[in-house]
Amino acid sequence: MSLKTLMIIKSVVCLAFGILLLAAPSFGYSIFGGSLSEGVGIFAARQYSSALIGTMLLTWFARNVAESPARNAIILYLFVYDALGAVITVIATLSGVFGLMGWSIVALYGLLAFGFGYFLFAKPAPVVQPAKA
């Protein structure tokens, strides 16, 4: 998988969850077995949706960025974001905040963290197109 494809996947995931949590935060959390309190819970979910929408814009507009220190910083941000998201969601699921569907969020965060970690630490060699004769 290319970094561009991973960025597009991340962008689509962030768009879907960002819109869901902005428009219907209680419903969004109930899908995963969670519940939100009126007031602070709804506010926090909508604040999180703004972070998701911002991340969606970052990943979408950075999907074609060439190798550079700025691109590496973006990949580092996405790796840390998803790795911490996985850890936080594991804790929440184990403590009963989410039901069994919480593990699907853990898996999603984990896969994205693994993908961005690959591009951050493995540094795959760029594909070189052969010269046309």
**pLDDT tens track for 84-102:** 999 999 999 999 999 999 9
Q: Which of 30, 75, 23 is nearest to 49 (CA)?
A: 23
CA–CA separation, 20 vs 30, rounded Å? 11
CA–CA separation, 127 vs 129, rounded Å? 6
Q: According to the model, what pLDDT value does residue 127 have?
A: 63
**pLDDT tens track for 21-40:** 999 999 998 998 888 888 88
Confidence label for 45 from pLDDT (cuts 50, 70 and 90) = very high
Q: What are the respective helix, strand and coil percentages of the chain, to the nearest 5?
A: 70, 0, 30
